[in-house]
Amino acid sequence: MARTEAPMKFLTVIEDDPDVQLLIETIFSMDSRFSAANAAKTAEEALESTRKAEPGVIILDHGLAGTLTGLDAAPMLKELAPGAKIILFTAHAELQSRASGEPAIDAFLLKTDSTRLLSLAQRLTGLDTSPT
């Protein structure tokens, strides 16, 4: 049986720090099955771009420029892109319990664990190729 290629997963990065945004895009550039489609500095920008193109993965910071936090925006993003996997990627460890209680958030990862970001996204989207 011929092996079929997995479809491309489009990535939306919602991060107001340009250095962290570049780090995320660099991490995902290591896997050609991901394409950085959108980048936003505010949740409001991300909501607008999500209305136009549905991402497969959303990397969402909590403390953003603008009026909405990542936790506030997560349910709205999930409503616009129900198939997207949302990873709350933050420096605030104290948010983990709130993130766990938010059904729109599929995973929580601290920015200090950025080396785990790609493998987490691969696992969430079914693109993990490691043996089980």
CATH superfamily of 16-125: Response regulator (3.40.50.2300)
Q: Can you give the residue ranges of every domain in the chain?
A: 16-125
- Check residue 32 and give its pLDDT: 92
Q: What is the pLDDT of residues 61-86, one digit of tens each?
A: 999 999 999 999 999 999 999 999 99
Q: What is the pLDDT of residues 13-25, one digit of tens each?
A: 999 999 999 999 9
Q: Does position 5 have pLDDT exceeding 70, yes or no?
A: no
Helices (H), the chain: 18-28, 43-52, 70-80, 96-100, 117-125
Q: Within 10 A of 28 (CB to CB), how many other CB atoms are there?
A: 21
Phi–psi pair at 117, nearest 5 degrees: -65, -50
d(CA 121, CA 10): 11
User: Mean pLDDT across the stretch 31-46?
Assistant: 90
- Check residue 68 and give its pLDDT: 96
Q: How confident is the model at residue 53 (pLDDT cuts 50, 70, 90)?
A: confident
Q: What single-letter DSSP state applies at residue 113? A: G
Tell which residue, 125, 126, 121, has the closest CA to residue 59: 121
Strands across the sheet containing 85-90: 34-40, 9-14, 57-60, 85-90, 107-110
Kindly state the tokens that stand for 66: 């603008």
User: Mean pLDDT across the stretch 77-106?
Assistant: 95
User: Mean pLDDT across the stretch 111-123?
Assistant: 96
- Check residue 129 and give its pLDDT: 63
**Which has more confidence, 89 or 50?**
89
Q: Does position 106 have pLDDT exceeding 70, yes or no?
A: yes
